[in-house]
Structure 1
Amino acid sequence: MMTFEEDQRRRNAASERIEYRNNIQYSVLLAGLAVFLLVALILYRNNRQKQKANKELQKTLVNLKSTQTQLIQSEKMASLGELTAGIAHEIQNPLNFVNNFSEVNRELLAEMMEGIENKNYEEVQALAKDIAENEEKINQHGKRADAIVKGMLQHSSKGSGKKEPTDINALADEYLRLSYHGLRAKDKSFNATLQTNYDDTIGKINMVPQDMGRVLLNLITNAFYAVNAARPDKATVYVPTVSISTKKEDNKVIITVKDNGNGIGAGIVNKIFQPFFTTKPTGQGTGLGLSLSYDIVKAHGGELTVETQQGEFAKFTITLQL
C-alpha cells in the first residue's frame, strides 16, 4: 500500500507538472503576443513609411507634370519663334494683294463716278463688275491672312486638347511654307527644293490639330536644318531637297517627311527620341522636339519611326490609325 507521504509526493509532482506546463503555455502566449505586437508595429511603421513615400511620389508627380507642361509650352514658344519670320512673310503676301486691289478699286471708283456724271452707264456697269471681282479677291486674301494668324494663335495656345476633323494635307502644307520662309528670312542664302505629294482621298481625320501641327513643324524644321547643314563645297553639285507626302493605306494614314541631308549616325539613331538629346549646337535646340513629337503621335494611337542612311537621307514616318 502507498503510504501517505508517497501519495503526497505524487500529488505534488503532478501539481508541479501542471504548473510547469501552464508556465510554458503562458510563456508561449506572451512570446506570441510579443511577436504579434512586433509584427504589427513593423507593419504600422512600414505603412506609415509607404504613405509618406506615396505622398512624396504624388508631390513629385505633380511637380513633374507641372515641369512637363512648362517644357512643352517652352518648346511651343521656341518653335513659334522659329516661325515668326515665316508667318510675317506669309501674312505680307495677302496683305500686299489687299493693298494693291484696294488701290485699284479706289481708281476704278473714281472712273465710275466720272462715268455716272457722263451718264456712260455701260462703262459704269463694266467698272462695277471689275470692282466686285477685286472685292472678292480682297476678301479671299483677307481670309488667308486671318487663317495664318489663327493658326499662329492655335500653335502658341494650350488648346482644348480635343480631337477634331482636320485636313492633314492643308496642315502639312501650311507648316512647310511657314518653316521654309522662316529659315529663308534668317538666312537669305538658303534655298531648297520642296516636293509635296498629298493624297486627296484622305479627307479630314480626327486629331488635335495644334499637337499634330507641332509634330509636323518639328520634323519639317529638322529637315531644313539637315539640308542646310549638309551644304558641300562649291565644286560639288548638291540640290537640298525636302519632301513631304501623305498616303492612305487601308485603315491607316501615312505621313512622311524626308530630306537628303547627312542622315543620322548609327551610334545615335536610337537616342533621337530621348528627352533632351540633340545634335544641334548649344542654344539651337532644346532636345525636346522629337521626344514630344513621339509622345504626341503615340497619344494619337499612332507611331513615329525613322529610316536613315548616313550621308544620304533621313525619313521620318508618322502612321495614324483611322
Structure 2
Amino acid sequence: MANYSSFGDILIIAPLAYGVVGALRKFLDLPRRLPRGNKALNWIWVPGVLLYLGARALDVRSTNLDDAYLLLVLSVVVAVVVAVRDYRPARSLLLAVSPFLLYKLVEFVVESPTGKVPKQYDAALDTTQGFAIIWLITFIFIARSQKKQLEKERLLREEEDKAKRLIEAQNAELERLVNERTAALTHQAEELRTALTELKTTQAQLIQSEKMASLGELTAGIAHEIQNPLNFVNNFAEVSAELVTELEEEREKPDRDLELEADLLADLKQNLQKIHQHGGRAASIVRGMLEHSRASSGERVPTDLNQLADEYLRLAYHGLRAKDKSFNATLKPDFDPNLPPVEVISQDLGRVLLNLLTNAFYAVKQRQQRGETGYAPTVSVSTRRVGDQVELRVKDNGTGMPESVQAKIFQPFFTTKPTGEGTGLGLSLSYDIVTQGHGGTLAVESREGEGTEFVISLPA
C-alpha cells in the first residue's frame, strides 16, 4: 500500500485531481446539467495548493494532509454525482466511487499523524484497497457503457425528432397546398356555377328564340293559309246578302214566284254551309297556331298524322312565300289513308314537322338560286305503317348534305345556315322531342347535291 509521508505529494495529487474532475465534467456533461457546480470545479486544485503553502509556512514535515485533500476531492466528486443522480451513468459512478471513498476514509482514520498504518490493519486495508479499485474500474466501464447507450438513444431520439419535425413540416406544407388547392377548386366551382347559371339562362333564351322563330314561320304561313277560307267566307257572305235582297224583292211582288223563292233559299242555304265550312277551316288554323305558341302540356292524345302533316306542309310553304313572293315549289303529299290515329303531343310534333319542312324549303330554294337548268323545287311528305311503327318522311330535292355535316346535324348549336338565319337548335330540339318525348327515332339520309330525307319513326 502506498503511504504518503510528505505533504509534497499534494502537488502531485492537485493536478491529477484537476484532470480527473475535468474528465468527470465532460463525462457527466456538467456545463449543461450543473452549470454552477461546473464553474466551481475549475478551482478544485486551489485547496491542495493552499494546504501545501500552509504546511510550508507552518513548517509541517510529517502529516497526512495529502490524504485529507484526496478525501476532499473524492467528497466533491460524490457530491457532484449525487447532484446529477437522475443521469443513469452518474448513479453508476456513485456506486463506483463510494467504496473507494469509504476505504480512504477508514485509512485516514487509522493512520498515525506521520502517515503510518498500524500493522494489524495493513493487510486488511490492502485487500480493501484492491477490491475498491477493481470495483471502481468495473463501474467506470459500466458507466461508460451506459453513457454510450444513452448517447445512441439520444442520437436515435434526435433522428426521430428530426424525422418527426420533417414529417410535421411536410404535413404543414401539404396542408397548405391542400388549402390552396381547395380554395382554388372552390373558386373554380363558384365560377363554374356562375357559368352554368349563365349557360342555362342563355340556353333558355336560345330555346325561346328558336320557338319564337318557329312561331314566326308558322304565323307567316297562317297569314297566307287563313286568307283562302276568309276570302271564301267574304265572297259567300256577299253573294248571300244579294240572295237575301233578291228574295225580299220577290216576296214584295203581288205575283210571287214560289219556285224562284225556293231556288233562292236553297242557294242561300248552300252559301251558309260554305261559310260555315271555311269558317271552321279558319278556326282550325287559328287553334293550331295557339296550340303551337303555348307551352306543351306533355299529354299525348290520339292524333291524325295525315291531317297534321298536311297542315304544317302548307303552313311552312306559305311561311317561306311570305318572305319571298317569287319562290314556288311543288308539294307532294303522300299519306296512308289507312293510318290509325297515333298518340302524340300534337303541338310538339307540329314543331318538329315545321322545323323539318322549313329546312326542306330552305334547301330547295338554295339549290334553285344556283340557276340549274330544268330544276324544279319539290318537297314531299309521306306517312305509312311499318309493323308496329308509324313512319313520317320529309323529303326534298335540295342541296343535300355531306357525311361530315350529317354526323353533326343533331348537335346543339350546329347549323349550316349563315349567321343570323339559324341558331342551330332546331334539329337538336326536334331530335329530343321525337326520341325523349315520344320514344321514337329521327334519322337523316342525304346525298350532297341531290337532296335530303328525314325519317321519323313513332310507336303505333
Which bin holds the TM-score, normalised by the shorter protein? 0.7 to 0.9
Alpha-carbon distance change, 34 to 238 in structure 1, aligned in 2, over 3 angstroms: same
In 2: Cα distance, 1:148 partner to 1:192 partner: 22
In 2: Cα distance, 1:71 partner to 1:235 partner: 36
Check whether the contact 1:226–1:261 (CA below 8 A) recurs between aligned residues: yes
Percent of residue pairs identical: 51
Which residue number corresponds to residue 317 of structure 1?
A: 455
Which residue number corresponds to residue 164 of structure 1?
A: 300
In 2: Cα distance, 1:54 partner to 1:98 partner: 63
Counterpart code for 2:236: F
Q: Given the two structures, how large is their TM-score scaled by the length of structure 1?
A: 0.81
Which residue number corresponds to residue 86 of structure 1?
A: 221
> Which segments of 5 or more consecutive residues in structure 1 lack a partner in the other structure?
none
Counterpart code for 1:14: Q
Q: How does 1:247-258 map to 2 (within 5 A)?
A: 247-258=384-395
Q: Deviations over 1:152-192 (max 9, x none)?
A: 334344x1462422443332221110111223344344322
In 2: Cα distance, 1:229 partner to 1:168 partner: 29
In 1: Cα distance, 2:191 partner to 2:374 partner: 59
Q: Give the one of 187, 191, 205 matched to 1:56.
A: 191
| Higher mean C-alpha deviation, range 174-183 or range 290-299 | 290-299
Check whether the contact 1:76–1:155 (CA below 8 A) recurs between aligned residues: no
In 2: Cα distance, 1:247 partner to 1:62 partner: 44
How far residue 220 of structure 1 moved from its aligned partner, in angstroms, is 0.9
Q: Given the two structures, how large is their TM-score scaled by the length of structure 2?
A: 0.59
Q: How does 1:240-319 map to 2 (within 5 A)?
A: 240-266=377-403, 268-300=405-437, 301-319=439-457
In 1: Cα distance, 2:258 partner to 2:422 partner: 64
> Which segments of 5 or more consecutive residues in structure 2 lack a partner in the other structure?
1-133
In 1: Cα distance, 2:180 partner to 2:459 partner: 49
How far residue 316 of structure 1 moved from its aligned partner, in angstroms, is 1.4
What is the RMSD of the two structures over their aligned residues, measured on CA atoms?
3.5
Q: Higher strand fraction: Structure 1 or Structure 2?
A: 1
Q: Give the one of 264, 278, 281 matched to 1:141.
A: 278
| Higher mean C-alpha deviation, range 135-144 or range 88-97 | 135-144
Q: How does 1:17-36 map to 2 (within 5 A)?
A: 17-36=152-171
In 2: Cα distance, 1:49 partner to 1:282 partner: 38
Q: Give the one of 297, 319, 342 matched to 1:204.
A: 342
In 2: Cα distance, 1:302 partner to 1:56 partner: 38
Identify the structure with bigger relative contact order (alpha carbons < 8 Å, sequence gap 6+).
Answer: 1
Q: Higher helix fraction: Structure 1 or Structure 2?
A: 2
Counterpart code for 1:88: A
In 2: Cα distance, 1:181 partner to 1:53 partner: 50
In 2: Cα distance, 1:261 partner to 1:80 partner: 24
In 2: Cα distance, 1:233 partner to 1:18 partner: 96
Which residue number corresponds to residue 229 of structure 1?
A: 366
Which residue number corresponds to residue 101 of structure 2?
A: none
